[in-house]
A and B are shown apart, each in its own frame.
Chain A
Amino acid sequence: MKLLKTLTATTALCAAGSMAGAQDMADDVTMVSWGGAYQQSQINAYAEPYMEMNPEVSITWDESSNEAVAKLRAMNEAGNITWDLVDVVAADALRLCDEGLAMEVDHDELLAPAPDGTDASDDFGDLIVSDCFIPQIVYSTTFGYRTDMVPEGVDAPDDICDVFDTETYPGMRSLEQRPINNMEWALLCDGVAKEDVYDVLATDEGQDQALAKLDTIKDSVIWWSAGADTPQLLADGEVFMGSTYNGRLFSAIVEQNQPIGMMWDAQVFDLDGWIIPTGLSDERLARVEDFLYFATDTQRLADQAKYISYGPARASSAPLVSTHAELGIEMAPHMPTDPENSKNTFLYNYEFWADYRDDIDAKFQAWLAQ
Chain B
Amino acid sequence: MSDSTDTGPVLAADGSPLKQSLARALRREKMRALALIAPLLLFVVLTFIIPILSMLFRSVENQIVSDTMPGTVAAIQDWEAGTGEAPDELVFQHLFIDLFNASEAKEHTKLGTRLNYEQTGLSSLFRTSGRRLDDIGETYQDPLEEIDPAFEEADFWYSMMNGEGGEGLLEERRDMWNAQIGGGMDGDVGFVPSSAMIDMLPWTTTAYTDWAIWAAIEDEDVVAEEEPWEAVYGALGMDLRNPETAAAIAAYDGPGAEQLQAAVANMDQLPQIGFREAFAEMDEDWLDPEVWDTIAVYSPRFTSGYFLTAVDLKLSAEGVTAQPEDRQLYIKLFNRTLFMSLVITGSCILLGYPVAWLLANLPLRTANVLMILVLLPFWTSLLVRTSAWKVLLQQQGVINEILVWLGFVDDANRLILMNNQTGTIIAMTHILLPFMILPLYSVMKTIDPSYLRAAKSLGATNFVAFWRVYFPQSVPGIGAGSILVFILSIGYYITPEIVGGTDGVFISNRIAYHISSSLNWGLAAALGSILLVVVLVLYWLYDRIVGIDNVKLGG
Contact assessment for A354 and B394 in the assembled complex, using a CB-CB cutoff below 8 Å: no
CB of B502 within 8 Å of the partner chain:
yes
Within 8 A of B (CB), among A331-370: 351, 354-359, 361-363, 365-369
Distance in angstroms between the alpha carbons of A357 and B117 in the assembled complex: 10
Instruction: Decide yes or no whether A225 CB sits under 8 A from chain B.
Output: yes
- Contact between A99 and B517 (Cβ–Cβ < 8 Å)? no
Nearest-Cβ distance from residue B158 to partner chain A, whole angstroms:
29
Contacts of B329 in A (CB 8 A): 362, 365-366, 369
Across the interface, A362 reaches (CB within 8 A) one of B121, B327, B336, B519, namely: B327
A222, B419: Cβ atoms closer than 8 Å:
yes
| Bound-state Cα–Cα, A172 to B394, Å | 12
CB distance from A82 to the nearest CB of B (A): 17
Q: Is B520 located at the chain interface by the 8 A CB criterion? A: yes
User: When the two chains form their complex, are residues A369 and B120 in contact, meaning their CB atoms are under 8 A apart?
Assistant: no
Interface residues of B in 107-143 (CB under 8 A from A): 107, 109-110, 113, 116-117, 120-121, 123-124, 127
Report A252-287 CB contacts with B as 1/0, cut-off 8 Å. 000000000000000000000000000000000000
B6 within 8 A of A: no
Contact residues in A for B519 (Cβ distance below 8 Å): 69-70, 73
On chain B, which size bracket covers the interface?
Answer: 35 or more
Number of residue pairs spanning A and B whose beta carbons lie under 8 angstroms apart: 76
User: Which bucket holds chain A's interface residue count?
Assistant: 20 to 34
Q: A67: CB under 8 A from chain B?
A: yes
Known A236-B396, A237-B396, A367-B326; contact A99-B516, beta-carbon cutoff 8 A: no
Is the CB–CB distance between B326 and A99 below 8 Å?
Answer: no
Asked if B106 and A355 sit within 8 Å, CB to CB, the answer is: no
By secondary structure, the A interface counts as: helix
A residues near B395, Cβ cutoff 8 Å: 172, 238
A125 at the interface (CB under 8 A from B): no
Kindly state the separation between the CA atoms of A296 and B116 in the bound complex, as whole angstroms.
35
Please report the C-alpha to C-alpha distance between residue A38 and residue B350 in the assembled complex, in whole angstroms. 47
Verify B127–A356 contact, CB threshold 8 A: no
Interface of B, secondary structure class, is loop
Smallest beta-carbon distance B206→chain A, Å: 24
Contact with B along A85-113 (1 / 0, CB 8 A): 00000000000001110000000000000
When chains A and B are docked, how far (Å) is the Cα of A362 from the Cα of B324? 11
Q: Does A323 contact B (CB under 8 A)?
A: no
Is B17 part of the binding interface, using a Cβ–Cβ cutoff of 8 Å? no
Q: Are A238 and B502 in contact (CB under 8 A)?
A: no
CB of B503 within 8 A of chain A? yes
Residues of B contacting A351 with CB < 8 Å?
124
Contact B116 A358 (CB under 8 A): yes
Chain A residues lying within 8 Å of B239, measured Cβ to Cβ, are none
A177 at the interface (CB under 8 A from B): yes
Interface pair A238/B518, CB less than 8 Å apart: no
Please, how many angstroms separate the alpha-carbon atoms of A288 and B315 in the complex? Answer: 46
Residue of A nearest to B127 (CB): A98
In whole Å, how far is A276's beta carbon from the nearest beta carbon of chain B?
15
B518 and A225: CB pair below 8 A? no
Q: Enumerate chain A interface residues (CB-CB to B < 8 A).
A: 66-67, 69-71, 73, 98-100, 172, 177, 208, 222-223, 225, 236-238, 351, 354-359, 361-363, 365-369
B residues adjacent to A (C-beta < 8 A): 106-107, 109-110, 113, 116-117, 120-121, 123-124, 127, 326-329, 332-333, 336, 394-397, 419, 497, 501-503, 510, 515-520
CB pairs A–B below 8 angstroms (25 shown): A66-B516, A67-B516, A69-B519, A70-B515, A70-B516, A71-B516, A98-B109, A98-B113, A99-B106, A99-B113, A100-B109, A172-B395, A225-B497, A238-B394, A355-B121, A357-B518, A361-B518, A362-B327, A365-B510, A366-B327, A366-B329, A367-B326, A369-B329, A369-B333, A369-B502
